[in-house]
Amino acid sequence: MSAETALLSTLFLPLVGMVLIWLTGKSPNLREAVTLTTSVILFAIVLSLLSDVLDGARPSVDLMEVMPGLSLSFEIEPLGMLFACIASGLWIVNSLYSIGYMRGNDEKKQTRFYMCFTVAISSAMGIAFAGNMFTLFVFYEVLTLSTYPLVAHKETEEAKQGARTYLGILIGTSIGLQLAAIIWTWIAAGTLDFTAGGILSGKVDPVLLPFLLALYMFGIGKAALMPFHRWLPSAMVAPTPVSALLHAVAVVKAGVFTVLKVVVYIFGIDFLAASGAANWLIWVAGFTLITASLVALSKDNLKARLAYSTVSQLAYIVLGAALANHYAILGGALHIATHALGKITLFMCAGAIYVATHKTEISDMQGLGRKMPFTFAAFCVGAFSIIGLPPLAGTWSKWYLVLGAAETGMLIVVAIYMISSLLNIAYLMPIVAKGFFRPAPELATASAGAAVAPSKSGIQEAPLLCVLPPCLTALGCFVLFFYADAVIALLRPIVE
Amino acid sequence: MIAAEHLPVLQVVGPLLAAPICSVLRIRNLAWFFTLIVSVGAFLCSLLLLQTVMESGPISYELGGWMAPLGIEYRVDASNGIVLLIISGISSVVLPFAKRSFEAEVPEKLHSLLYTAYILCLTGLLGITATADAFNVFVFLEISSLSTYVLVAAGSSIDRRALTAAYNYLILGTIGATFFVIGIGLLYMATGSLNMADIAVRLGTIAEIRTVDVAFAFIVVGLALKLALFPLHTWLPNAYTHAPSAVTAFLAATATKAAVYLMLRFSFTVFGTGSGLLAPMAGTVGIPLALAGMFAGSIAAIYQYNLKRMLAYSSVAQIGYMVLGFGLLSVTGVMATTLHLFNHALMKGALFMALGCVFVRIRSVHIADLSGIGRQMPWTMAAFVIGGLSLIGVPMTVGFISKWYLISAALEQEAWWLVALIVASSLLAVIYIWRVIEAAYLKAPPPGRAVAEAPLSMLIPTWVLVGANIYFGVDADFTVSVARAAAEGLVGVMQ
């Protein structure tokens, strides 16, 4: 298979999977087999492309011309390759997890759920491999629309309300701000192709440049820059596999990926740094970073806390992009990978806890670590990685981000990163600590009569398919620490 | 075989002669089939015409061989070629749909007369568009309007309010037509000619300018009423709500489009530089009213419970977009208008037809009655969703193409505030479309309602338009190149 065919098949394969899922909807086992097979094949294809890209190849396909001069075109470059690897790789793990979670919770309309998932993955691939801003925008919108039914999945009044916020903010920012920015770029530069070194140098009045950047940064609502972050906590009404893969990996990472793409290939790092147009963004991203951490601290609902933590972690990457130097961009790109692994672990653990005990509030989780040791161990590893402790993957991205901040000489940015790491500890560690070290309330009041009698070993884990995936990703956090230089080798061309 | 050179007149005369024949065809299926043949014939004519025009430039046809300024000239270029294509194309798609829809909504004895009115309406709209003679425009305008009143009134067996809606439309439409003909009269007084090109030439040579200005004002106001520019839109919501579904789909996609085309034609080709009023009027009246329409229409749509009325108000807003593009008086602006003429016809046609499918099954288009309909009529509601996404302007649908060019046109003139207002109003569409999606998919159907999917004869035409929404959204090369040729032909006069 040539690289071009492989590229297109990453887009179409999930859609083929969608049709098969629809056809096999009556038989759940067959349907889940389709999902798993599709995800494995997709990952294999993406990996086959990876070796080409590492060799310096840049496969590209011009699919069709939509409007004169504007075509749907795809080109693989390192940043997109990284994003595609993460999204497709974690899809396999998450598919396993979905099966455990959806069956464990006896959720309705699972066929629709899996179908929407494949469309979302297909559009994530489209975003990763988009060759110009127009193509990226198209898939960005498809991703929003295909995840709407997933957020509204439970069809309760709360789910509808959350989905409304989700759609309203994402569509509102993308059509309201991002589209205007894209058309502005198109009129100014005459092209929307992602080009090394950017396309805007000398094309836009320097006075207006910060405004164009603002249209992009706030227009990319998926990056959850305050004040357009509300959709992310709202999306937490979705079933946890959705929160795990989409709202910790595919959707939010699509947002920050787009931010990096715009900074690297539309503005150009050097041009942006020289123009100073991103100076305001440092403050907005820094504010989001700290504020979201503080809000996370105040949330007792586990998924809400994780959601605000995501908002904060996304701001790390946007801040890296705003610093616009080689270390910071590298750190931001790396953080896409490391945070994805860490956060998906945390979400899957949250889901496993819900499946096993139907608990959503952190204050109810005292002593749960003894009953669910694997889940809580995985959670602990994920949390350490997010905090940035060695030997876990999160260390490296934070390292490069701080290095980038130091390079610009803005000590306050270094301080922001550091304070936020402390806040990470403050809002993540109590969950682990309560789980392991506090006595469980049931044991204290045994006479109340627990609904489920504890088994002999005292272990009451969620189904295997709910527990195994987070353990795998936790292991991934560990492995990535030692292979981070491979990822850096992949990414280095984008900053050179 | 009649030579291709007669095509411009053939596609108007054909339906005109067919109408009386249709009225005596008392078997309703025969009348329907006859209408379909006529409409498809007109469609093929318009396809050939547009192809010829795009290859070898405008076609001029002198009726009866009388030379142009004296005789009646028919002239087809890119700008009306595309409108002819929209009118005859939509008509040909709506007709297969109309059969079942009329059977469900209109008493059987009226059918052959209804089809006659339909053919007359088609004739009128095609005539308005093809002719290059100002008075001839008025004649066809009246043919189309009178038959439209009849078509709207046909909805009275379902809801008697159709009669008042038609009557209201009759009064306002007649006022509009009267304004228009007064304007034509003044133009004739000033120039002594009725041929559009000839008027334009003579306007350049005369010193007496006030009569011309007054003529311009009368014509613009008359047309603004016809195309339902806010605040002259009041006839539209009632007429679209109470007309039979197929009629609404046809009218919403074509009638206002022909009027918008006339506005462009008169403003640029006829008056052009001849009246100094165009530029100031477009800036101080056209754009503000377009914006007011965009917001008033969209906001009103959000508060409607009857979905046909909701879409009707949405049309008022969409007409605002068309007038906005025109008001910018640039090639890109007029391109946006022309594109949106075409694209809006596709999306509104599809949406109204989807509602027609719903009506056939549950006898209501009230949002409360649509709970859970998405599961019972999956294909119909999927069509509605795609049409709705197109209306919102999601990429890969035609709505996106229109929006892209409209925003480009505003950005070209560095009118940032216009860009902000365009995107803000298009986001209002998200609200009113999503209300329907939530009701149809996220609510449980009322117990005991078991409805089947709409009949195929209605679904297929609906999906043809849905397919067109996607096709021309993915490959906009054809529409954009025609729109560019049209805009350059129209605005080129100004430079």
Query: Could you please report the per-residue DSSP string of A15-46?
Result: HHHHHHHHHTTT-HHHHHHHHHHHHHHHHHHH
Contact status of B273 with chain A (Cβ, < 8 Å): no
Task: Give B-chain residues touching A219 at CB under 8 angstroms.
Answer: none
List Cα–Cα distances, A358 to A235, A245, A345, B405, in angstroms. Answer: 19, 20, 18, 51
> Mind telling me how many Å the CA of A366 is from chain B's nearest CA?
36
For residue B434, list chain A residues with Cβ-Cβ distance below 8 A.
164, 167
Identify the pLDDT of residue B495: 57
Average pLDDT over residues A231-237: 86
Question: B269 touching A, CB under 8 A?
Answer: no
Is the pLDDT confidence value at A445 over 70? no
Q: How many CA atoms lie within 13 A of A228 on its CB side?
A: 25
Distance, C-alpha B112 to centroid of its chain: 24
Half-sphere exposure of A404 (CA within 13 A, CB side): 32
Cβ count near A189 (within 10 Å): 18
Is B423 in contact with A176 (Cβ distance < 8 A)?
A: yes
Out of B411, B427, B480, whose CB is closest to A172? Answer: B427
- Does residue B327 contact residue B282 with C-beta atoms inside 8 Å? yes
The interface predicted TM-score of the complex, written ipTM, equals 0.84
Residue A459, pLDDT score: 67
Provide the pairing of β-strand B59-62 with B73-76. antiparallel
The reply to whether A138 touches chain B by the CB within 8 Å rule is yes
Residue B484 pLDDT level (bands cut at 50, 70, 90): confident
Check whether A352 has a pLDDT greater than 70. Answer: yes
CB-based burial label for B431 (10 Å; 0-12, 13-18, 19+): middle
For range A449-473, the mean pLDDT: 68
Distance CA A451, CA B424 (A): 53
Which one-letter DSSP state was computed for residue B286?
I
- B47 sits in which H/E element: helix B28-56
Geometric angle at alpha carbon B425, from B422 and B426, rounded to 5°: 85
Does residue B435 belong to the interface with chain A, where contact is any CB pair within 8 Å?
A: no
Q: Reply yes or no on whether the pLDDT at B180 is more than 90.
A: yes
Domain ranges of chain B: 279-495
Question: Of B426, B438, B475, which is closest to A175 when you measure between CB atoms?
Answer: B426
What are the φ/ψ torsions at residue A154 (nearest 5 degrees)? -75, -15
The confidence band for B274, taking pLDDT boundaries of 50, 70 and 90, is low
Confidence of residue A55 (pLDDT cuts 50, 70, 90): confident
Q: Kindly tell me if the per-residue pLDDT of B179 is higher than 90.
A: yes
Would the pLDDT of A451 be above 50? no
> What is the rounded CA–CA span in Å between residue A404 and residue A332?
10
Asked if B389 has any chain A CB less than 8 Å from its own CB, the reply is yes
Which amino acid is present at B361?
A: R
Q: Is the pLDDT of residue B182 over 90?
A: yes
B227 closest CA partner among B118, B352, B319? B319
Q: Residue A447's pLDDT is what? A: 42
What pLDDT, on the 0 to 100 scale, is given for residue A448?
A: 41
Tell me the torsion sign for CA atoms B187, B189, B190, B196.
Answer: positive
d(CA B437, nearest CA chain A) in Å: 11
pLDDT band at B466 (very low <50, low <70, confident <90, very high): very high
pLDDT at A329 over 70: yes
Confidence at A478, pLDDT banded by 50, 70, 90: confident
Which of the four pLDDT bands, split at 50, 70 and 90, describes residue A358? confident
What distance separates the 2 farthest-apart alpha carbons in chain A? 76
pLDDT over 50 at A376, yes or no = yes
pLDDT at B299 over 90: yes
> For residues B203 and A67, what is the distance between their CA atoms, to the nearest angstrom?
38
Q: How confident is the model at residue A303 (pLDDT cuts 50, 70, 90)?
A: confident
Whether chain A has a CB inside 8 Å of the CB on B404: the answer is yes
Phi first, then psi: give them for residue A461, nearest 5 degrees.
Answer: -75, 160
- Highest average pLDDT, of A362-376, B16-30, B34-48, comes from B34-48
Say yes or no: A183 contacts chain B, CB-CB below 8 A: yes
Q: What band does A450 get if pLDDT is binned at 50, 70 and 90?
A: very low
Write the residue in A152, A167, A179 that is nearest to B423 by C-beta: A179
Predicted confidence (pLDDT) at residue A452 exceeds the cutoff of 60: no
Does residue A328 contact residue A413 with C-beta atoms inside 8 Å?
A: no
Average confidence (pLDDT) over A23-50: 87
Distance (Å) from the C-alpha of residue B474 to the closest C-alpha of chain A?
5
- Chain B CB within 8 Å of residue A207 CB: no
In this predicted model, what pLDDT tens digit does every residue of B89-131 receive, in sequence order?
999 999 898 888 888 888 888 888 888 899 999 999 999 998 8
d(CA A482, CA A470): 19
Mutation target among A140, A179, A237 for the B interface, most CBs of B within 10 A: A179
The answer to whether residue B159 neighbours chain A at the CB level (below 8 Å) is no
Please give, rounded to a whole number of angstroms, the shortest distance from the CA of A155 to a CA of chain B.
Answer: 6
CA distance A283 to A225: 11
Which run of H or of E encompasses B483? helix B477-491
Q: What share of chain B is helix, strand, coil (3-state, %, to 5)?
A: 80, 5, 15
Q: Is the pLDDT of residue A455 over 60?
A: no
Rounded-to-integer distance, Cα B180 and Cα B170, Å: 15
How close, in Å, is residue B477 to chain A by CA atoms?
6
Residue B4 pLDDT grade (very low, low, confident, very high; cuts 50, 70, 90): low
Question: For residue B242, what are the contacts with CB-CB under 8 A and spacing of at least 6?
Answer: B152, B155, B156, B158, B159, B161, B162, B165, B166
Residues with Cβ within 8 Å of residue A373, at least 6 apart in sequence: A459, A461
